Amino acid sequence: MGLLSLLFPERRTSAVIARERLKIVLAHERASRNAPDFLPVLQRELLDVISRYVEIRGDMIRVNVGKSGDTSLLEINVEIDGAKVTPAKNGAAEEGKAGAPRIEPGAATPWVKPS
């Protein structure tokens, strides 16, 4: 077995596949298990607000609570790549009114890494 593992270092046995699948699925489930109750509501309200400016679907926004060292992090990921700007409606993004700046299509978005 020692020699075999030298010759074929990472043999994709079914046990190796099982281990990797479990690690991935449990990482997801543990994160959502410890999530505070307000996350779904927060996600829905964020979606409402953002969709006043950009057309996005529910699956394009992800809200997670994580930890980095001793700090708890609220992580919000919004995917707007290719999303259309919503025509001004609800009065929220009308010019002359205080509110969030409009995002021009194709304009650089500072929090998205340029690819």
Partner 1 sequence: MAGKVIVLTSGKGGVGKTTSAAAIAAGLALRGHRTVVIDFDVGLRNLDLIMGCERRVVFDFINVINGDAKLNQALIKDKRSDNLYIFPTSQTRDKDALKRDGVELVLNELKESFDYIVCDSPAGIEHGAITALYFADSAIIVTNPEVSSVRDSDRIIGILASKSRRAEFNLEPVAVHLLLSRYSPERVRRGEMLAVEDVKEILSIPLLGVIPESESVLKASNTGTPVAFDEESPAGRAYLDAVARFLGEQRELRFLQPERRNFFRALFGRA
Q: What's the rounded Cα separation, in Å, for the pair 52 and 107? A: 18
Q: What's the rounded Cα separation, in Å, for the pair 93 and 102? A: 7
Provide CB contacts within 8 A for 76, sequence distance 6+.
Answer: 46, 61, 62, 63
Closer residue to partner 1 (CB): 3 or 15: 15
Nearest CA to 58 out of 73, 40, 31 is that of 40
Give the interface segment with partner 1, choosing from 21-29, 38-46, 69-77, 99-107 (CB under 8 A).
Answer: 21-29
- For the CB of residue 34, give the shortest distance to partner 1 in the complex, in Å: 8
Binds partner 1 (CB under 8 A): choice among 2, 10, 33, 96: 33
What size, in residues, is the chain?
115
Binding mask 48-67 for partner 1 (x = CB under 8 A): --------------------
Examine residue 28 and tell whether it contacts partner 1 (CB under 8 A). Answer: no
Residues near partner 1 (CB under 8 A): 1, 11, 13-16, 18-19, 21-23, 25-26, 29-30, 33
